[in-house]
Structure 1
């Protein structure tokens, strides 16, 4: 295994894993989840490296299902095996289940007040900021190797600028990058 993809050598308790993912699931919104998970797992607790997290994010995004559930399973498994995966995914989903039920009722009441839409715009801006942090770290890591930087820029250009379909972009760029790696490895 690549040393950059190793997780922390310290044992993480299942209760710690549950607490972190439960808090993230209950307190974060939408697309900002990956940013919150990155901050807690990589930056604050150092349970895994940035490279290992980004490898997991890549898997989480290309696999079917919700990205946050996929990344929780990946991190839980890397830290504590199959039981860790079960604990992490349960923790990240169980809190929001009950919060959504309560928020549905609260939303019906809150939408009558002026300024509520402005509040929701602020929450969206915060989530985008967290995603930008993860994206900047991915760009910094990718720029250390020419191949990674080229693939990163190509995918960014195709999807971010030209609005190319995600599935086609991943299929084409994925095959090209694997062929490039195999050719240069020889």
Structure 2
């Protein structure tokens, strides 16, 4: 009995983070995530983003933004609120280490022209470069087109508020350009 009480006292003295970290199983958590984000990296729904192979810091930041309600989603806000900082980092590391899955995305006639006009006008390449992500910048190439479209429209309509510079950029683009840009980026 004395040993059990001594061990319990040591855990309590170490703080709540120790108990949480010992219980966090990133593989088990990833199985929960797979319910929407897919078993092999292909999301179940077209409006759900691919997170396999996404940039580490971007995933981590989005989890923290959901938890702090800087970004809202009916499912992700509650889930992310349950993760402490270390758990969010573990999940971000787990997904960033995965290979990006290939999707089938089609463009429509004129998409490249409209998309390039939007990219030039919004100076998107200044940050996004070749669209494959870079540390804090998310990969957009090969991302779900419906997710990309919704994300850009959410910025434009000030639904998504966790990247103010994107709001002003997306407000410059009409919906037809955003739709073409989403299809174009998905096809890269």
Q: TM-score, normalised by structure 2?
A: 0.30
Structure (1/2) with the larger helix percentage: 1
CA radius of gyration, larger in:
2
TM-score of the pair, normalised by structure 1: 0.30
